[in-house]
Amino acid sequence: MGLDLLPPEGERLWTLNAVRVPAGVDDGRVRARLLSGFNMEIGAGLGPLSGKIFRIGLMGASSTPPIILMFLGASEKVLAEAGCRLPRGAGVTAAADALGNG
């Protein structure tokens, strides 16, 4: 999908992803659009990471393959609307392949 994770590979959590907000993208606008348009809520960065990361939880019912694929599709759409240039469908395709659904 072309987005960067904040922590180094050895320090990442299975249940929470800290994704860097792409340059020029208003993180609050993206989070609000995901919530209003898709009923999907992601967290903002806290303290010194405010405006710099999205906190995306993957726990319980929100971590099923259909929900993950739906979230990635919604995220791609909303980020594109916010001016982020992403390869459309790349996140969904990569996740579907990793999940064995591609």
Task: Examine the pLDDT at 90 and tell me if it is beyond 70.
Answer: yes
Answer yes or no: are the C-beta atoms of 70 and 37 closer than 8 Å: no
Write out pLDDT tens, residues 14-59.
Answer: 899 999 999 999 999 999 999 999 999 999 999 999 999 999 998 8
Exposure on the CB side of residue 88, measured as CA atoms within 13 A: 5
pTM of the complete model beyond 0.85: yes
Section 60-82 average pLDDT: 92
